[in-house]
Structure 1
Amino acid sequence: MRRLCATLSEYLDEAQVGDVRRAYELANRAHEGQFRISGEPYVCHPISVAMILADMHMDARGVMAGLLHDVIEDTFVSKEDLAKQFGEEVANLVDGVSKLTQLDCKSRAEAQAQNVRKMVMAMVKDLRVIMVKLADRLHNMRTLGVMSAERRRRIARETLDIYAPIANRLGMNEMRLALEDLGFHALYPMRYRVLEHSVKKARGNRKEVVATIESTINKRLVESGMTGCQVLGREKHLYSIYQKMRGKRLSFSEVFDVYAFRIVTDGVDDCYRSLGASHNLYKPVPGRFKDYIAVPKANGYQSLHTTLVGPYGLPLEIQIRTRAMHHMAECGIAAHWLYKSEADQVSSSQTRAHEWLRDLLEIQKNAGDSLEFLDNLKVDLFQHEVYVLTPKGKIIKLPRGATIVDFAYTVHTDIGNACVSARIDRVLAPLQTVLENGQTVEIITAPWARPNPLWLNYVVTAKARSAIRSYLRNFKKQEAIALGRRLLEKELSERGMRLEDIPAERLGELLDSLDAPSLEILLEDIGLGNRLPFLVVRLLMHEEIQAEAKAAEGERKPARAPLIIKGSEGMVVSLAKCCRPIPGDPIVGFFNPGKGIVVHLNECKNVNELRKKQVNWLEVEWHKQVAGEFPVEVRLELLNKLGTLAKVASTISRMRANIENVQITNQDSEVSTDIITLMVKDRVHLANVMRELRRLSVVLKISRLKTELRKSRL
């Protein structure tokens, strides 16, 4: 504690150090009798956490939170007690770091997700929460040795998956490197030892080469009039080497042959002059130059990166930055407290951190649960950037692999929800197009457009994924309510009643008996197939419970008035993939709990199986004016010769049908058997397409694919 107070005295006044001492006294009393697994008094841990924060020049309240960060979670002290003694600010910081203890979770993963979600939401309000948490995690990682192997691996995996990437996202490079190397050591101890030994062995052979290159670069900079520059040879840390070996499938010698140097200058002009001097000294590798000074990374990182071909053909990685940029690169948002003199640089990092946190807040609002939020957070943390432009010249940063849909959601959620296409450099492009550096992207929207579930297959940003899921979740709910209302009104109409005519008192009794909070939730359950409409009507009409039970157990007789399928019901009415019904086909519907109604062909073999299982079904019919296109599969036996598929495709296109998929199931020198998935309007449209295809000389046989054929194919 004396060492902590001495460090704090270097930058805090006496009264603030006294407040920290009072916080220590409470922590010492609260943790009295508690010991760590190593056997040392528990209070040693919060003192170490506070020491890490003091080394960052954290303010007094942040250090106090470090000392008290476990008292709410592990002792008799409550948040109210802390607020009375140290103020609301300290109490909120400690509460933000504390885990949720009263959790009704089905798994450890869900508990972890809820705790991370709580911490991130507290971090949005005060960045010091994450500073305390990272300091806490760093000390825990330093003292993992006494824990069981399973617990070590679990904590190390969590550190590498969540906390090290958060430190990187906030620009705290020193913290990230420390967490990554400690996590690597705990998760893969044997790999760590082998790499560490190899690095030490290679280091001796490299010293002379590094010194020679360092001296040569220094000499060239002095000759160019830049005497204040500092040239440093740097060594890649072990986890970075391991990641590169694993990701690019390289041997150790291939990774360690890359020599890395850093040039630290007095000003931005000197950075570019140093770059020119370096390129005059050694030849640059094309395509390996990045200017993060003009366009900083999302975490505020600024530097020039270039790769040169050095002596003996060795690749040299060089980073060039100012001293202020160097401080920011190493400390990130921690520089707010550590380097207060560099106000402009610090405020830039703080602003970027808060922009990221605002995005996280939007993601958490759209997330369905904590596991989805954690999944989105991980997507957001692991990314490399590309830079694209809006038509007005604004630079948009996106993770590598981002598509047009990601860009649209980054600009604004409403634009993402309504996008239908885009122009890349004034050329029309499909939404799944992956964006590249320097492209100008213009989004085309339409008022009728809505997110497509297929977008989830190729979006990479957390914001886009979260917004699409949120929209689809709400949209499915509205569809389910609408379908539930139709089904309930259909049952009531057969008894000569309407839903609007039911007295509010009777509806209230029904909702109470079914334990449904509202009529909308009851209708949603009916639409999703979780409740059967005829049973709900029986309860509503006060019919005999025994008759109700009997009806539920036995097969239900079809209603005289079938449910009309319009094809626009959305996700709560789905067409079975086993038989692919299309408008004009005789059909039947089955209730699938949680998903709604699944529509099959009457002649589908699976229908008999479902009826044997006493699945609840209902009569359905196509609407006379169904809109849209529907998938159907046809089986073709074709002459195996040049141009056959082109003739087939041309005929299908001429008949205004689209090909969704082509699969060749059997082929020899003379005949090819293909399964083609077509998008048609109805049964008549399909018949016309098949008639035209039969007229082609290359088509030997054509038929609509039935269930039994599909099963034999599988």
Structure 2
Amino acid sequence: MMRQYELVEQIKTYDPGADEDALNRAYVYSMKAHGNQLRASGDPYFSHPVEVAGLLCDKKLDAASIITGLLHDTVEDTDATVEDIESLFGAEIAQLVDGVTKLSQLEHQSDENKQAENFRKLVLAMSKDIRVLMVKLADRLHNMRTLHFIKKEEKRRRISRETMDIYVPLAERIGIRDWKEELEELAFRELNPDARSSIINRLNFLSDQGEGLIDRIIAGVKGLLAENGLTAEVKGRQKTPYSIWKKMQRQNVGFEQLSDIMAFRVIVGSNDECYQALGAIHGAYSVVPGRFKDYISLPKPNGYRSLHTGVIGPENQRIEVQIRTREMNEIAELGVAAHWQYKQSGSGQANKEGSQYRWMRDMLDILANASNPDEFLEHTKMEMFSDQVFVFTPKGDLHALPRGATPVDFAYAVHTDIGDHCVASKVNGRIVPLRTKLRNGDQVEVSTSKAQTPNPAWEGFVVTGKARACIRKFIRSRQRDQYASLGREIVEKTFRQANYEKSEKSLKSVTERFQCDDIDELYVRVGEGQITGRDVLYAVYPGAKDAETAKKTPTTRAKDLPSHAIPVRGLIAGMAVHYAKCCHPLPGDRIVGIVTTGKGVTIHTIDCRTLEAFADMPERWLDVSWEQDTEETASFVGRVHAVLSNEPGALASLTSAIGRDGGNIINLKFTNRGQDFFDILVDVEVTDVRQLNNILAALRATPEVNTVERSHG
């Protein structure tokens, strides 16, 4: 564990003006606050914040970040408060400590929704000050280094999965390569120990076989560059086990089929010398096709710049070569932390509006459009786990997008409004479909129209989290409007048929009973089928239920059917009658009665699947039919199964067609939703099977209805 004076001396080496008094006070305050607390390893808990501060020192961060590292667990794990921190160390330190603390409070819960909520808070906190993320990454790195002391395997694996899913890509996004690789390796060791062990054994075998190979290749490359008048520093190393395993998975090849497991870095004095070195290497060695990448001309979103190429180098070895200047190398090693080496510029804020922060603004856009933390986590994983393509606007502005991105993704990357209203696109001056996959260097132009709205089909081909979140938000909004319209119609019909007056005031009085925020939400829930129109009627007018009960009885006896009903012929006088809910028999259907002791007779259609259960019990069957001598004015329920196109107005067309033929919708349920179509079950009040057939014919003639049929269970 680093001693107090050692920590201060290390900071002074790169920041002579650091507040030494505040650093000493923070060290002592943290040590006293944590007192006798112990970690899972048995070490004093205070060793953890000191190690975190040391990691931040290695990245040459400012004194405020180091102090935050020392204090980051005091509010969460001791009696200290944010107010105490502010009074002793100032508002800036208190804000940083509070940001890290809010993130940590949920981590001890294993529920996935808590992880998603935690990540949402992380994005909000680091959008205000990127140093919150730096401290959090250092905290996670030290916890991963000591993960093996945790006894529960499931907890170790959960922490490792979270590290791989969230903290590794975040470390990559802010350019801290060594932290990213160490986090990957530590998580990989826990998640897939057998694969890691196998790769390490093979790497050790290759090292023994080719002892001194890396040194000989370095000497060969360095000599080649010297012959071309270039003074360069050349470094070499084997790739990490995780990067090798990931490449094996991505290319679906075995270890023996990988040939470029060694990477070499060439550091020269200027940009011009980078390209001179590239020319010398390409001139001397055979180039591996498709392996050249120019990140100097087109930097990565995190500010990384370098030339990458693959060649068959010295001793006929296939190697990867990275060529960069010393400044580029510093940014590649330190990432966003490199900015703190220039604090003398006068700005103490880490979160500047450079292009390297565009991805963070995109994540905030996703946060604004996602419906819940789980969806936000899903979309941001899409945003972070992706290879990239670089495309240009007609004015020459550069946009980095995930591989496989389309003009729709590009439109949303430029601005949400452009994405919502895009109607056509040109790539390199040629009109292309919106689902076209973009390639490196494409120039993309998007046409918009105020009349255009996001197409639900877009969700099937966009790849950026921002685009998908915006499209889903629009779909939710449009479906809500359709449900609200349908629900309003159902409620109005229910009140009208029961001869009761519907008013906004009366509906508002019952919204709380149905746990709705307002009347619109009540209509939406009715439209979705969660609440029926009669539920609303009975809530507003409780007497309506009693009046309806007095008119109807749960079962109808054949001897005393009301004059307006159609009786069933063939029943024994006094026998109770039920109409089966599985097949919804209607006058005009061929029917059969099934006798159930103590319950009477249940009427089924002759083709009802439920009758198969009574095939071996002929004694329970009754030969019955509809009595047609009375006036046919009763209402019966028929069930319709329809497949509708997923487009605006589809529900309205269906309900209008049913209403034109005198049908009355009493219940509606969505059974399946897809990008292009959705399935729906509709219960319709009709007088007989002929009226239902007329409704089915009308629906089949409706353009928005793909298929429709009567449902039999």
Q: Same fold (TM over 0.5)?
A: yes
Cα drift, residue 707 of structure 1: 8.3
For 1:271-670, list aligned pairs within 5 A.
271-311=274-314, 313-338=316-341, 351-494=354-497, 499=502, 502=503, 504=505, 506-546=506-546, 570=648, 573=651, 590-592=667-669, 599=680, 628-632=703-707
- What SS is found at the alignment partner of 1:333? helix
In 1, Cα distance between the equivalents of 2:180 and 2:668? 52
Deviations 1:58-87 (A, max 9, x none): 212211111111122222222222222222
Cα drift, residue 316 of structure 1: 2.5
What's 1:161 paired with? 165
Matched, 1:193 2:197: yes
Cα drift, residue 446 of structure 1: 3.3
Deviations 1:209-259 (A, max 9, x none): 4333322322222222222x1122222112111111222232323325544
Deviations 1:112-153 (A, max 9, x none): 111111111100000000000000011011111211222222
User: What letter matches 1:591 in structure 2?
Assistant: L
- Highest CA radius of gyration, 1 or 2? 2
In 2, Cα distance between the equivalents of 1:322 and 1:509? 71
CA contact (8 A) 1:167 1:176 kept: yes
Cα drift, residue 570 of structure 1: 4.1
* Aligned equivalent of 1:152, options 137, 153, 156: 156
In 1, Cα distance between the equivalents of 2:148 and 2:107? 31
- What SS is found at the alignment partner of 1:516? coil
**In angstroms, what is the RMSD of aligned CA positions?**
4.1
Matched, 1:204 2:281: no
Instruction: Pick which of 231-240 and 168-177 moved more.
Output: 231-240
Instruction: Pick which of 158-167 and 210-219 moved more.
Output: 210-219
In 1, Cα distance between the equivalents of 2:192 and 2:255? 16
Cα drift, residue 35 of structure 1: 1.0
Distance 1:73 1:628, change over 3 A: farther
Matched, 1:172 2:176: yes
CA contact (8 A) 1:572 1:595 kept: no
Cα drift, residue 340 of structure 1: 5.8
Cα drift, residue 584 of structure 1: 10
CA contact (8 A) 1:376 1:466 kept: yes
- What SS is found at the alignment partner of 1:35? coil
- What SS is found at the alignment partner of 1:436? coil
- What SS is found at the alignment partner of 2:40? coil
Q: How many residues align?
A: 615
What's 2:236 paired with? 233
In 2, Cα distance between the equivalents of 1:288 and 1:8? 40
CA contact (8 A) 2:700 2:707 kept: no
User: What letter matches 1:43 in structure 2?
Assistant: F
Distance 1:416 1:358, change over 3 A: same
Instruction: Pick which of 373-382 and 283-292 moved more.
Output: 283-292
What's 1:640 paired with? none
In 2, Cα distance between the equivalents of 1:136 and 1:59? 17
Cα drift, residue 573 of structure 1: 3.6
Distance 1:515 1:156, change over 3 A: closer
Deviations 1:31-68 (A, max 9, x none): 22321111111111111111111222221221111111
CA contact (8 A) 2:130 2:351 kept: no
Distance 1:30 1:204, change over 3 A: same
Distance 1:314 1:342, change over 3 A: farther
In 2, Cα distance between the equivalents of 1:620 and 1:541? 32
* Aligned equivalent of 1:37, options 24, 28, 40: 40
- What SS is found at the alignment partner of 2:405? coil
CA contact (8 A) 2:390 2:398 kept: yes
Runs of at least 5 residues in structure 2 that lack an aligned partner in the other structure = 556-580, 585-633
In 1, Cα distance between the equivalents of 2:86 and 2:683? 69
In 2, Cα distance between the equivalents of 1:339 and 1:175? 22
Distance 1:571 1:55, change over 3 A: farther
Distance 1:569 1:314, change over 3 A: closer
What's 1:69 paired with? 72
CA contact (8 A) 1:535 1:552 kept: no
Matched, 1:242 2:245: yes
Deviations 1:142-174 (A, max 9, x none): 111211222222111111111011000111111
User: What letter matches 1:191 in structure 2?
Assistant: A
What's 1:649 paired with? none
Distance 1:32 1:71, change over 3 A: same
TM-score scaled by length of structure 2: 0.77
CA contact (8 A) 1:404 1:435 kept: yes
- What SS is found at the alignment partner of 1:543? helix
Runs of at least 5 residues in structure 1 that lack an aligned partner in the other structure = 609-616, 634-704
- What SS is found at the alignment partner of 2:509? helix
In 1, Cα distance between the equivalents of 2:254 and 2:389? 28
Cα drift, residue 332 of structure 1: 0.5
Instruction: Pick which of 197-206 and 5-14 moved more.
Output: 5-14
In 1, Cα distance between the equivalents of 2:182 and 2:107? 34
Cα drift, residue 534 of structure 1: 2.6
What's 1:128 paired with? 131
What's 1:641 paired with? none
- What SS is found at the alignment partner of 1:57? coil
In 1, Cα distance between the equivalents of 2:659 and 2:109? 44
In 2, Cα distance between the equivalents of 1:291 and 1:343? 33
Cα drift, residue 301 of structure 1: 0.9
| Identity score, percent | 38
Instruction: Pick which of 507-516 and 153-162 moved more.
Output: 507-516
Matched, 1:28 2:27: no
Cα drift, residue 111 of structure 1: 0.8
User: What letter matches 1:516 in structure 2?
Assistant: C
User: What letter matches 1:160 in structure 2?
Assistant: M
- What SS is found at the alignment partner of 2:319? strand
Cα drift, residue 95 of structure 1: 1.8
Instruction: Pick which of 540-549 and 187-196 moved more.
Output: 540-549
CA contact (8 A) 2:72 2:101 kept: yes
User: What letter matches 1:494 in structure 2?
Assistant: Q
In 2, Cα distance between the equivalents of 1:107 and 1:458? 33
TM-score scaled by length of structure 1: 0.77
What's 1:642 paired with? none
- What SS is found at the alignment partner of 2:354? helix
Cα drift, residue 422 of structure 1: 2.3
In 2, Cα distance between the equivalents of 1:33 and 1:383? 45
Matched, 1:214 2:289: no
User: What letter matches 1:136 in structure 2?
Assistant: D
Distance 1:120 1:453, change over 3 A: same
Instruction: Pick which of 163-172 and 194-203 moved more.
Output: 194-203
In 2, Cα distance between the equivalents of 1:494 and 1:588? 10
- What SS is found at the alignment partner of 1:357? helix
Distance 1:100 1:201, change over 3 A: closer
- What SS is found at the alignment partner of 2:52? helix
What's 1:656 paired with? none
Deviations 1:481-538 (A, max 9, x none): 2222222223334356665xx273x344333444433222212222222211232123
